[in-house]
Amino acid sequence: PELSEEPPAEMVKMTKSKTFQAYLPNCHRTYSCIHCRAHLANHDELISKASVLLFLFFFSRVNVGCGPAEERVLLTGLHAVADIYCENCKTTLGWKYEHAFESSQKYKEGKFIIELAHMIKDNGWE
């Protein structure tokens, strides 16, 4: 039998859909992914600089995906955390605190750490 170059009509080529970026308002100072410049977080949502290398953010963030949670021993004790990544370029940015096992660390639950090495300041920084 002769080989056909076209696939049968019942076969459909599946393509990955493009992720659309969300943009934060230009009136706010924002942090963006240093690798692709997708907006990540509003500066007004910054809770604290956890260290010189890390920023702790409140719930609001855009273009950030979350992986599965796993238990890790961090400097502040045992936590269930999930890696977070840029939805646009898929770079791992930091982690989300899903559960803190020590009562003194419960305030971190639901919050996001974004490593400074993966962020750039955008919109209105002087």
Q: Is there a domain that residue 92 lies in?
A: yes
Tokens of 124: 């209105």
What end-to-end distance do the CA atoms of the chain give, in Å? Answer: 70
Per-residue pLDDT reduced to its tens digit, 32-45: 899 998 888 877 77
Tokens of 15: 């393509």
Q: Is there a domain that residue 78 lies in?
A: yes
Q: Is there a domain that residue 5 lies in?
A: no
Total domains in the chain come to 1
Q: Is there a domain that residue 7 lies in?
A: no
Per-residue pLDDT reduced to its tens digit, 48-98: 666 656 666 655 678 889 999 999 999 889 999 999 999 999 999 999 999
User: Which structural domain, as residue segments, surrounds residue 76?
Assistant: 30-122
- The closest of 125, 124, 122, 126 to 27, measured between CA atoms, is 124
Q: Is there a domain that residue 59 lies in?
A: yes
Any idea what the CATH number is for the domain that residue 46 is in? Answer: 2.170.150.20
Q: Is there a domain that residue 6 lies in?
A: no
pTM of the model: 0.70
CB 87 within 8 A of CB 38: yes
